[in-house]
Amino acid sequence: MAEIQWLDDMSVALARAKAERKPILLDFFNPG
């Protein structure tokens, strides 16, 4: 089954977004 390939570093997300010309999905979550 496919899973969302979450990142956890904003600088990495921004670099990938620029390179792939894609928008970022930013999810703030509470694990508790």
Partner 1 sequence: MGAVTYPDSKVAEFVNGRMIPIQLLADAKPYADDFNVKWTPTVIVLDEDGKEHSRTVGFLSPEEFVPSLLLGIIKTQFDLNRFSEALTDAEKLIADYPKSRATPEAIYLRGVAGYKSTHDPKHLKAAYQKLQAEYPASEWTERAQPYNLLP
Residues that bind partner 1 (CB under 8 A): 1-10, 12-14, 16-18, 20-31
Q: Residue holding tokens 């997300």?
A: 13
Q: Is 13 exposed, middle or buried (0-12, 13-18, 19+ CB in 10 A)?
A: middle
Least distance (Å) between residue 19 CB and partner 1: 9
Least distance (Å) between residue 32 CB and partner 1: 10
Distance, CA of 13 to CA of 26 (rounded, Å): 9
Least distance (Å) between residue 22 CB and partner 1: 5
